[in-house]
């Protein structure tokens, strides 16, 4: 199987041929056939756990009582401050810190990475849960209305950051390797 794959890879390096696709499919089927039953169950449960169980666990542990104050928190300036801070402020800070590190020579862009991917990952960093809840509890001790607004803002911002950032990374695709790439000198 690997010989078939390698033979065709030399002819067209950037694109899979039909033979390569068939070879990959055969390798995938062969690897699945030798998996243990536990590995197959774990693989089957991956999506439901990641997209149903973990979010429900997060909502339950956030402690937002939607019936008593969760809906009214939508008009709170605290909720909007937290939401915009996580959704816009945090990604902007991460992006510009990355940009400054690259421009100053302290860091270099990883091979194959694009600026679109950096922006997408910066937006993904807006997913803030544990630390944001901790800071909210420190900022508003005894203010249940502000704590509820903070939690609602964190939940909405985390959801939006995950969806928007994930879509940005997915749509940015993989960068093509640059041929004859000029190396920039690194400053130490």
Q: What stretch of H or E contains 96?
A: helix 90-104
Q: From the first residue on, what is the mean pLDDT of each consecutive set of 10 residues in the chain (188 residues)?
A: 61 69 83 85 88 78 62 78 91 94 91 89 87 83 83 87 91 60 47
CA separation for the pair 91, 120 (Å, rounded)? 9
Say what the pLDDT of residue 154 is.
87
Coil, strand, or helix at residue 85? helix
Beta strands per DSSP E along the chain:
none
- Pick from 123, 116, 102: which is nearest to 171 by CA? 116
Residues in the chain: 188
What is the reported pTM? Answer: 0.62
Say what the pLDDT of residue 151 is.
85
Say what the pLDDT of residue 181 is.
42
Which residues, at least 6 apart from 141, have a Cβ–Cβ distance to it below 8 Å? none
């Amino acid at each position: 199987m690997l010989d078939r794959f390698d033979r065709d890879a030399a002819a067209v390096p950037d694109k899979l041929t039909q033979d390569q696709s068939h070879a990959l499919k055969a390798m995938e089927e062969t690897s699945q056939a030798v998996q243990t039953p536990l590995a197959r169950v774990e693989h089957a449960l991956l999506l439901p756990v990641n997209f149903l169980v973990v979010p429900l666990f997060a909502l339950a542990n956030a402690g937002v009582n939607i019936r008593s104050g969760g809906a009214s928190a939508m008009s709170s300036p605290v909720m909007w401050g937290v939401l915009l801070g996580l959704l816009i402020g945090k990604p902007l800070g991460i992006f510009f810190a990355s940009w400054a590190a690259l421009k100053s020579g302290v860091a270099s862009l990883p091979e194959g990475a694009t600026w679109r991917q950096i922006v997408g990952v910066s937006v993904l960093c807006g997913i803030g849960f544990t630390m944001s809840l901790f800071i909210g509890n420190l900022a508003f001790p005894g203010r249940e209305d502000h704590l509820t607004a903070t939690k609602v803002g964190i939940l909405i911002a985390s959801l939006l950051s995950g969806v928007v950032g994930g879509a940005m990374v997915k749509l940015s695709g993989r960068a093509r390797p640059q041929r004859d790439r000029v190396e920039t000198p690194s400053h130490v």
